Amino acid sequence: MNYPLLIQTWPDFSDRIQTFINRLGLDKLALTCDHCALRVNDKTSAEKLAEQFSQHGEIISNNMINGRPILIIKLRQPLRLNNQDIYCVELPFPSEKQYPVEGWEHIELVFPSTAQTCEQLVSELIEQVPSLAAIIAGSTDIKTKQSSPKGDNERLANPTIAFKTNGICVKVHPLGIETIIASEQG
């Protein structure tokens, strides 16, 4: 896994993600994509990618989350998803979990909300996109996961709902990654 290969595979990944966003009905909300994320299975690959991405941007966060380093790299030249610029890339160092496919894995969308819990976020999302109720209830082939990931220094609640299908994932949360990073500095 390397930076040139990731850039080469981005168009296919972004097409698949956009199709999934449309299937979920999230396209109707005009949400902002604040970052995309990679998955790698070994520390050496993660270190190599961190070095390569650093040549195209700046590491703006290196935080311990669930016991492992997760880097956020802000690119000088954004990636494009449909009509949006995505400047931030999340590079989690591997845990014990092995991913069947390394490379692009998910994007995260900001759903403007004051939700402090996953239950509140689910309620607000279903109010805006009623068809999500069946998905969140587990009545479709789309898997969902609710979590409230938190870095060691984060001060803000950012409940998250992840929608997964066919090796890709769209996560929805109220606060963008740069807002979360800024909260760590306070």
Q: Which is higher by pLDDT, 67 or 27?
A: 27
DSSP sequence for 12-53: HHHHHHHHHHHHHTGGGGT-EEEEEEEE-SSHHHHHHHHHHH
Q: Which is higher by pLDDT, 151 or 141?
A: 141
Residue 175's pLDDT band (boundaries 50, 70, 90)? confident
The helix, strand and coil proportions of the chain, stated in percent and rounded to the nearest 5, come to 35, 35, 30
Q: How far apart are CA 108 and CA 162, in angstroms?
A: 9
Q: Could you read off the pLDDT of 88-125 as tens digits, one per residue?
A: 999 999 888 777 788 999 999 999 998 989 999 999 99
Using DSSP bridges, classify how beta strands 32-39 and 84-92 pair: parallel, antiparallel or unpaired.
Answer: parallel
Q: Return the structure tokens found at 29.
A: 């909300």
| Structure confidence at residue 63 (pLDDT) | 85
DSSP H helical segments within the chain, as ranges? 3-24, 43-54, 118-128, 132-136, 177-185
Query: Is 47 a residue whose pLDDT tops 80?
Result: yes
Q: Return the structure tokens found at 49.
A: 């990618």
How many residues can be counted in the chain? 186
| Structure confidence at residue 186 (pLDDT) | 57
Residues 6 or more apart whose CB falls under 8 angstroms from that of 11 comprise none
| Structure confidence at residue 66 (pLDDT) | 75
Reported pTM: 0.91
The CATH class of 3-185 is: alpha beta
| Structure confidence at residue 65 (pLDDT) | 78
